[in-house]
Amino acid sequence: MDERNVKPKEAPEILTKPLPQILDEIEASIKMADEAAKSARKSAEDARKAGEKAASDATRAANQAIANVQQTAKNAMELAELLNLAIREAVAAIEKRLSEKP
């Protein structure tokens, strides 16, 4: 093997950098990780709040829809009762007229 073509192995950075620089880089990495964790916690909290609000809004909308359906059913029942009464009165009037004719 030709030794002129062989590149000398480079020493790992940790062996060539001054210790204070390595410690600064470690501290910077820790701070970045801490900020990322804080950001993730805030995002999770925001998502939880958004989910709770969506559930609350959906519940409120469903309750309103139920109330509307109940009111419509009540109104329909009242109209049916009035119609039933009107039909009974009409039948009674017709029967009376028919019974009066010779």
Domain boundaries, the chain: 15-100
pLDDT of residue 83: 97
pTM of the model: 0.56
Secondary structure (H, E, C), the chain: CCCCCCCCCCCCHHHHCCHHHHHHHHHHHHHHHHHHHHHHHHHHHHHHHHHHHHHHHHHHHHHHHHHHHHHHHHHHHHHHHHHHHHHHHHHHHHHHHHHHCC
pLDDT digits (tens, 9 = 90+) for 58-78: 999 999 999 999 999 999 999
pLDDT of residue 46: 98
